[in-house]
Structure 1
Amino acid sequence: MEHLSTLDASFLQAEDSDPHVSLAVGGVSILAGPMPDYREVESALADRAHAIPRCTQKLHTHTFDLGAPGWVDDPHFDVGHHLHHVALPNPGDDAELFGMVASIMERRLDRDRPLWECWTIEGLSDDRWALLVKIHHCIADGIATAEMLAKLSDDGAGDTFATSIRAGREPKGDSLLGLLRPRLNPIDWMGDIWRATLAATSAAEHAVVGAVELTVRVLDATADSSLNGPIATMRRYSAARVDLTVMRRVCRDFGVTLNDVALAAITSGYRTMLLDRGEVPGPHALRTLIPVSMRSADALDVADNRVSAMLPLLPVDEPDPIRQLEIVHARLEEAKGSGQREGGSAVFAAAGNIPFALTAWTIRLLTRLPQNSVAALATNVPGPRGRRRMLGREVLEILPVPPIALHLRTGIAMLSYADRFYFGVTADYDSAPDVDALTRGIEDGVWRLAELGSLRGGTASVAIP
């Protein structure tokens, strides 16, 4: 049996702690029409699902959490339990599609079966249809989920932007044994041991400092806005669409990264939302959970979670767009250098050495407690570099769908696909009826930076991750 890691299982325990939460992630592929016959769709998806192990495996859990849950083949697997078909009411535009996506995603997956569903959605305007794939977060993080979804397409996995992320570019760290290469001179052996020891000590200190900093951020209950609070069961969904070439031009004009531009646009969108609500955005109103991939390039298709986190404050109190971008860039650089990324990863690695029952009960207890320090989630998922096809139809767009939990009333997932960049926003139905204003604010934020960059005549260049 293949067991879940402590991080994988934490998504199950977080879901257990709140009956209003469904911790499934989703991806909506919008395709050119006409939609194929449903029996053709069902047959093709069934064949492709059988080639993905997690699609035919279910959870095996232990009484009182005496052992980590594991993946076992489902002897009664029936793809009919996982494939569904719905049609949108007229006129079939974004409002109807987004409402359907929210309704599907808010319902929990059945833990007695493999933890995924696939919904075909017909009736979109302009001769289009959609495919929504829903996967529990305990199976995979954003990158691994994107790789799984890609395997359902006609082209297979293919090339993605994931190879450009930091973890994917970094060489594997040398182990102590790896550093002790065959030497003729014993003095060289001692030198290798000394260098390896110093490197290990430095890395450990960096991780400890980062873990402490993350803990302080989580315990610092200074968030003061309507973005944080209890959530109900119903959801809303919306999406923002931006040209990737425009974002890259902003990167060049201001000498920042693509992630900086995206988070600055998110900052602008939240500021607009809060002002429209009659709130004065404070400097501590938008501490944001930013998952950071720890996945190496040779593990892109491994179905599990390999992420850490950073918790920067986004400058929602700053009205000037350029200044917002500068602050976002500076704070992300500070967070990267502080060891938060390494610290979060080290915490979960250490938790793997503790008896599973203790970690499971602890996570359930902690996730039941109201947290008032973090107000939003912003996760960036690298998508396919080139255009994809599904059942012979072109995939026009891919919209990411994040979950929300832990008193976060909104969550944003970003995904790059070919020449477009998408922001998918999931929100609590009751406390965030203005989710469309947030996505419009994000789009406006990117365009304002593009216009200001053109006026500024920026010439700085930067390697886009």
Structure 2
Amino acid sequence: MAEHDAQPGAWGQAREMNGLEALMWRAEGDPRLRSTISSLELLDCTPDWDRFLAAHDWATRLVPRFRQRVVEPALGVGVPSWVVDRNFDLHYHVRRVGLPPGSVWTDALALAEQLAMVPFDRSRSPWEATLIEGLPDGKSAFLLKLHHATTDGLGAVQLLGMLHSSRREPSPEKPQVSAPEFEYTTPTNLFTRQLTQDAAALPALGARHAAGLVRSVASPERSLRAAVRFTASLRRVLADPDSDGSPLLAGRSLSWRFMTMDIPFAPLRAASKTVGGSLNDAFVAALLGGFRRYHDELGVPVDSMPIAIPISVRKADDPEGGNAFAGARLAAPVGVVDPQERMRIIGLQVAQAREEPAVAALGLIAPALSRLPAPVISQLAGGLTKANDLQASNVPGIREDRYVAGARIERAYGFGPLPGCATMITLVSHGDLCCIGINVDPAAITDLERFERCLREGFDEVLALAS
């Protein structure tokens, strides 16, 4: 969908966070669990600043979520909600920065990682957009920084696909809507409203439970088998992977470091097909090949390590935006030298995780967890992520040309947060490329140049299968 096809208000309709979003929002009592996601796009020229500002003003009217801030109910009892901000100021959210003369892409990355590490002002709408000027050949970069409670990777692609233009020229036919009126909502008002809504919903909730009880009584054996199966699945889903964390990657800090690499889409996909696998299997296998080389070169070889991979639970008829994913935690086969065998193992592990009846269990228990005191939330949430040496995400991106205020997007990288894990690596398909955004904790990855080289060699190893 391009900007002239966009439907006002279609993205980010929910006014209350779901349990997973509330958990991410409240877990930030531990600063290592900050959930900031970033999109960094390389533009073929520098957009006109007035047109760039106007595009963002239009976007915030089309998508009211970006004029809303988060309000917590009184006493922290209830669900954080999105409320139109009476103090919304586009000037605060949209910025421009000029790099010094002679700057290159790595300088833009360094600036982007610094901006991404700065926590959001929680009294404002949690997003920032920065135009980074001064790249060679008149190019520029566009950094969009969002709180993960706003959306996941697929929701972000939906958003950018809707807001980015399909042509360089202006689109006068795009829909024009008025800015949403601000809302006066206090924590006490929100607490009272949610309490009233919960009370009104009790009869329907009771009826559903009663119907479920009737079905259980009618088929006790089937209900018992389903309960036993789900409980066993829940234990597997919540259990730590059968793998110890790498001693080489044990360090943790508050710092992030960004790197990028571009991998041709077609050969990577062709490599996956040599074992009947998916692009994701090839992607993760290439990463593991890089990790194996890094460990071997530093004299600390490992056979496996704990990793996490998000699994989308988004349905075709779900509203756009928001978060709809579950996490698969795996014991990754780092020590397997044969890249085809690594792909087979990864494919099998992910397929098994998808088939778990309790794969979305975190979404089911998140509403209860999100109501706990912030220090307890941080401890519990951190327990699910801090042991991970790698979190890898594969997001299908936009394959057609897209423009930002007249500038064509040449590359599009996604950078996920480091919620206590050592590395977060994201693949976004863009045009005929796989744009790889790499976020690492420098306390865990202490030799950044070596690590980047080892990752490239891991991809070369997998890409060689395509020929």
The TM-score normalised by the length of structure 1 is 0.80
Q: Following TM superposition, by how much is the alpha carbon of 1:351 offset from its aligned partner in structure 2, in angstroms?
A: 4.1
Amino acid at match of 2:31: P
Q: Following TM superposition, by how much is the alpha carbon of 1:46 offset from its aligned partner in structure 2, in angstroms?
A: 1.6
Separation (CA, whole Å) in 1 of partners of 2:295 and 2:358: 32
Q: Following TM superposition, by how much is the alpha carbon of 1:361 offset from its aligned partner in structure 2, in angstroms?
A: 5.9
Change (3 A) 1:199 1:387: farther
SS in 2 for 1:4: coil
Show CA shifts across 1:162-210 (max 9, x none): xxxxxxxxxxxxxxxxxxxxxxxxxxxxxx9999999987776554333
The answer for the alignment partner of 2:133 in structure 1 is 122
Change (3 A) 1:436 1:27: farther
The answer for the alignment partner of 2:275 in structure 1 is 254
The answer for the alignment partner of 1:349 in structure 2 is 364
| Matched ranges for 1:61-460 at <5 A | 61-155=72-166, 207-217=230-240, 222-232=244-254, 234-281=255-302, 283-284=303-304, 286-299=305-318, 301=320, 303-337=321-355, 339=356, 342-352=357-367, 354=368, 357-358=371-372, 362-367=376-381, 373-406=387-420, 408-454=421-467
Which of 27, 44, 49 aligns to 1:14? It is: 27
Change (3 A) 1:288 1:369: closer
The answer for the alignment partner of 2:179 in structure 1 is none
Separation (CA, whole Å) in 2 of partners of 1:239 and 1:391: 24
Change (3 A) 1:153 1:201: farther
SS in 2 for 1:151: helix
The answer for the alignment partner of 1:175 in structure 2 is none
Contact in 2 for aligned 1:133/1:149 (Cα 8 Å): no
Contact in 2 for aligned 1:221/1:373 (Cα 8 Å): no
SS in 2 for 1:76: coil
Contact in 1 for aligned 2:385/2:419 (Cα 8 Å): no
Show CA shifts across 1:385-443 (max 9, x none): 3221221221111011111022x121111111121112211112343243454344333
Q: Which segment drifts farther, 429-438 or 58-67? A: 429-438
The answer for the alignment partner of 1:51 in structure 2 is 62
RMSD: 2.9
Contact in 2 for aligned 1:154/1:388 (Cα 8 Å): yes
Separation (CA, whole Å) in 2 of partners of 1:66 and 1:379: 32
Contact in 1 for aligned 2:27/2:34 (Cα 8 Å): no
Separation (CA, whole Å) in 2 of partners of 1:73 and 1:287: 41
Amino acid at match of 1:120: L
SS in 2 for 1:452: helix
Separation (CA, whole Å) in 1 of partners of 2:427 and 2:462: 18
Q: Which segment drifts farther, 74-83 or 375-384? A: 375-384
Amino acid at match of 2:126: L
Change (3 A) 1:277 1:98: farther
Separation (CA, whole Å) in 1 of partners of 2:257 and 2:416: 11
Q: Which segment drifts farther, 63-72 or 196-205? A: 196-205
Contact in 2 for aligned 1:273/1:434 (Cα 8 Å): no
Q: Which segment drifts farther, 3-12 or 380-389? A: 380-389
Change (3 A) 1:73 1:217: same
Contact in 2 for aligned 1:23/1:108 (Cα 8 Å): no
Q: Following TM superposition, by how much is the alpha carbon of 1:235 offset from its aligned partner in structure 2, in angstroms?
A: 1.7
SS in 2 for 1:299: coil
Show CA shifts across 1:301-336 (max 9, x none): 2x3211111111221122332332232223323333
Contact in 2 for aligned 1:66/1:356 (Cα 8 Å): no
- Figure out how many residues of one structure are paired with residues of the other and give that number: 408
SS in 2 for 1:58: strand
Change (3 A) 1:290 1:65: same
Separation (CA, whole Å) in 1 of partners of 2:134 and 2:49: 13
Change (3 A) 1:400 1:205: farther
The TM-score normalised by the length of structure 2 is 0.79
Separation (CA, whole Å) in 2 of partners of 1:139 and 1:103: 21
Show CA shifts across 1:12-68 (max 9, x none): 22222x2345311011111111x1332221122222222112100001012331121
Separation (CA, whole Å) in 1 of partners of 2:135 and 2:348: 42
Contiguous gaps of at least 5 residues in structure 1: 157-191, 455-465
Change (3 A) 1:361 1:205: farther
Separation (CA, whole Å) in 2 of partners of 1:369 and 1:325: 28
Show CA shifts across 1:118-173 (max 9, x none): 000011123311110000001111111222233331149xxxxxxxxxxxxxxxxx
SS in 1 for 2:399: coil
Contact in 2 for aligned 1:241/1:443 (Cα 8 Å): no
Q: Following TM superposition, by how much is the alpha carbon of 1:300 offset from its aligned partner in structure 2, in angstroms?
A: 5.8
Change (3 A) 1:66 1:293: same
Change (3 A) 1:52 1:75: same
Contact in 2 for aligned 1:65/1:357 (Cα 8 Å): yes
SS in 2 for 1:154: coil
Separation (CA, whole Å) in 2 of partners of 1:266 and 1:327: 14
Show CA shifts across 1:94-139 (max 9, x none): 3212111111111111110000000000111233111100000011
Contact in 2 for aligned 1:122/1:130 (Cα 8 Å): yes
Separation (CA, whole Å) in 2 of partners of 1:429 and 1:64: 37
Change (3 A) 1:228 1:313: same
Contact in 2 for aligned 1:228/1:372 (Cα 8 Å): no
User: Are 2:66 and 1:31 aligned?
Assistant: no
Amino acid at match of 2:249: L
